[in-house]
Amino acid sequence: MPKTLADLLSGVSVYHLIGDPATPISALVYDSRRVTPGSLFVAIRGQHSDGHNFIPQAIAAGAAAVVVDQRYWHGAVSAEVPVVVVADSRVALAPLAAAFYEYPGQQLTTIGITGTKGKSTTTDLTAQLLAAAGRTVGMISTVDFQIGTRRWPNDTRQSTPEAPEVQALLREMVVAGCDTAVIEATSHALSPRWGRLVGCAFAVAVMLNIGHEHLDFHGTFEQYRADKAQLFALLAERHGPTWAIVNADDPHHGTFLAAVPSQTMRLRYALHAPADVQGQIVHSGPASSHMRIHSPWGEIEVNVPLPGRFNASNVLAALTVALTQGVPLERAAAAVAHVRAPRGRMVSINVGQPFTVIVDYAHNPDSFEQIFTMLRPQVTGRIIAVFGSAGERDVSKRAIQGEIAGRMCDLLVLTDEDPRGEDREAIIAQIAAGAERAGKRPGSGYLCIPNRAQAIRTAIAAARPGDMVLLLGKGHEGSIIYADYTLPWDEEGEARRALAELGYHAKEQA
């Protein structure tokens, strides 16, 4: 059914409308280069450009109407097309998108998963468990998109895409016959400053953990935590039963429960603290663990084919979601035994070399603590860590990462992650300052090699039998972003090439 401008404005706090509300709208765009005849163009002021400067181009390309931000629009009262003046055009984008795509979240069981670490893995694990139980699942994660049996890489470099892309994917899921959507919900997307996930109508909200991340955007840890908790407030959009699931092992879980609407059902899961769904690791090895689970649905033991205590916790979160969705405990436990990690998460490369090479996405202080603590007991030799820190992102975490790695690893090779517009060597120097606080010295304890391909080759060439080389921070990502260009990147492929140059190119070992 054709949509009008008035149809799309139903969920928006309209400041002022100039023009005809019955104007037909055929598309919703926020990039003037994507305007087609009949589009509603939403002008947004971004970090590097201001969409208000491109309104003439949008109208020339056929925009039927424009949405402008009252703070940045200085146009005349009369206009060639209808103009909607709003308090914040970025915030208005999400309700506009939900209305344009006819609120697909209400037609799905929409599950949101947030936390500082483990979001992508738990999102994927949840989708896997529900699919194994017979649900037709869609997924939006940092690593991949999925609609039913179709799965493809998320190359946007946004863990949670902009609202129109989220709503378009949800609509595709509905059309494809999906009954469930699992969304990785980032703090940026949840922040009221952006509000990308408004209109998703979440039926389930999951909180994994809260640590040190993205303070460049949120300003303070308290604001970061409050923005994460917005996921639980969004449960109020849902017409029907809703669930709030929190990790009781995290001391901040109470903040999330405080944001939950009164009619929402609540569940705590944990490995240590008292919880509704209680997991206990019976024993663990380098690649898996065995866990006993007590829950309102019964008791059972499960085999977790992923390494580390943090993956046991991620599995427990995913299992708890499955139980709330009516999956029998026995069936969910059986599915756990066959789950797999997403691309770029704890990928071991073994082509016959006498040392270990692992690729992982770990890129913040908490994930560094976890991965080094987990792997240190497994290494008879040295741990050599290759990593950097993103430019134009949280500056304060750089020295912290350097200090943690300096304390827990034997040799650090500091390199580019995504410098963006910052000085790559200045970023590395900030990491090195933390490494020096941990006692590392240049040349022996750490090396500064901005070129990531060279850094990987140096680390692998330095490895001796029994050592472990950890390549951290890129994982699945397909590029390294610089100020004026983007370098295509394949971390695992680069590691394999480095090993082959040293003569290790045998068939992948089991």
Residues forming the annotated binding site?
32, 115-121, 159-160, 186, 196
Strand extents, DSSP E, 297-427? 298-304, 347-349, 356-360, 383-387, 411-414
Q: Report whether 199 contacts 170 (CB < 8 A).
A: no
Q: Which residue is listed with tokens 């084919």?
A: 305
Q: Where are the alpha helices (DSSP H) in 75-186?
A: 89-100, 119-132, 163-175
Backbone angles phi and psi of 374, in degrees to 5: -70, -40
Distance of CA 365 to the CA centre of its chain: 16
Distances (CA, A) of 480 to 212, 339, 423, 450, 471: 23, 29, 14, 12, 14
CA distance 1 to 102: 10
Helix (H) or strand (E) holding 148: none
* Residue 325 Ramachandran class (φ > 0 left, ψ -120 to 50 alpha, else beta): alpha
Contact partners, residue 160, CB within 8 Å, separation at least 6? 140, 166, 183, 184, 185, 186, 188, 189, 196, 197
Length reported for the chain: 510
> Which residues make up each annotated binding site for ATP?
115-121
CA distance 91 to 489: 33
Helix then strand then coil, in percent of the chain rounded to 5, is 35, 25, 40
